[in-house]
Amino acid sequence: MGAIFETLASRARGETAQMLGTFEGETRMRVMIFGATGDLGRECVGQCLDAGHDVSVYVRSPEKLRRETLDRVEVHEGDGLDGVAIDAALSQGCDAILFAIGVDANSPEDLCTTATRHIFAAMRTYGIRRFVWCGGGSTLVEDDQLTFGARFVQFFGRTFLGLRHRDKQHQLELLATADDIDWVGLRPLQMGKGPREENYRIGFDRFSGLSRITFADCAHGMIRMLDDDTWLRKAPIIQY
């Protein structure tokens, strides 16, 4: 608890919180993971299981789940655009949601925004409060430091990432209106494979297109947010 107060105090002083450490002391939860077959989602699944959480996944391609996790998770099959299937999956109950869906070359406009809208509808129906989101650095927020690097990332996203950038922007706008949902997000820049080091920074520090994080550490940061209100209704940057 002391660490949380220190974090809040340092935020008040305009400093960045250093989110170091392990899942020690975390409450065991029932977690539903969207995008569980992707690079980030698979890390979320593995680390949630290691932390002792009960894990359900909502996926369109269950065969892509890691074999060693298959018999340890409850699988709900469906597309992110299918509100009925999402409602059915969430009607089974969970405490929190990790969102790691990402668009691909064949994705329709606003895939993640539409999926989030369906998820929020079901969360309201079944009284599920916590939603942990993975965004990206090209969507700037009020708290960001508008350095040349941040502006370049936004320019790059708008110019070259097309629907991926627009979808993130629309998803963030949807989150901003969801006062009744305990949402919290992380915005990684370059994400890649590599070890979980747990020495990352979360906050509204300076960043650029060179800022990086591994999938493993981003998943770790998201899982910490399952029961940590430090950044409630905010989406800080995660980077080393």
Strand extents, DSSP E, 125-235? 130-134, 182-188, 190-192, 201-203, 212-214
Least Å from the CB of residue 43 to ligand NAP: 8
Give residues 112-171 in contact with ligand NAP (rule: CB under 6 A). Answer: 134, 136
Candidates 48-56, 103-111, 149-157, 222-230: pick the segment binding ligand NAP (CB under 6 A).
103-111
193-210 residues labelled b (16+ CB within 10 A) or e (exposed):
eeebeeebbbbbbebbbe
Nearer to ligand NAP among residue 10 and residue 190 (C-beta): 190
Whether the CB-CB separation of 234 and 203 falls below 8 Å is answered with: no
Question: For ligand NAP, which residue of 6, 79, 109, 173 counts as binding (CB under 6 A)?
Answer: 79
Contacting ligand NAP within 4-63 (CB under 6 A):
35, 37-41, 60-61
The smaller minimum CB distance to ligand NAP, of residues 10 and 82, is found at: 82
Measured CA to CA, the distance from residue 48 to residue 120 in angstroms comes to: 22
Stretch 170-199 residues interacting with ligand NAP (CB under 6 A): 188, 190-191
Contacts of 203 (CB under 8 A, 6+ apart): 11, 15, 16, 17, 236, 237
- Cα dihedral across residues 81, 101, 111, 115: positive or negative: positive
Nearer to ligand NAP, 89 or 134 (CB): 134
CB of 1 to ligand NAP, least distance (A): 31
Binding site for ligand NAP (CB under 6 A): 35, 37-41, 60-61, 64, 79-81, 100-102, 104, 107, 111, 134, 136, 188, 190-191
